[in-house]
Amino acid sequence: MSLVPRWEVMTDEAKAITKRIAVSALVLLFALWIVRALIPWVIVAICGYWAYRWLAKST
């Protein structure tokens, strides 16, 4: 049994579009997973940069 109903009767173009959308969705989810993992590091880096600028300015 197919995961997509009526896969056997779909045209080749419809199958290609379906596959392209599935691949795009997987790439988007992977990119969101990477960005989500990097957000805390970006926040730490920005805070560190601000602290460095503040300390360098005050001396």
What is the arithmetic mean of pLDDT over 14-26?
95
Number of residues in the chain: 59
Q: How far apart, in Å, are the Cα atoms of 2 and each of 8, 24, 45, 47, 50?
A: 8, 20, 48, 51, 55
Question: Is the pLDDT confidence value at 19 over 70?
Answer: yes
The rounded percent of the chain whose pLDDT value lies above 70 is 90
CA 28 to chain centre: 4
Task: Give the per-residue pLDDT at 31.
Answer: 97
Q: pTM score > 0.75 for this model?
A: no
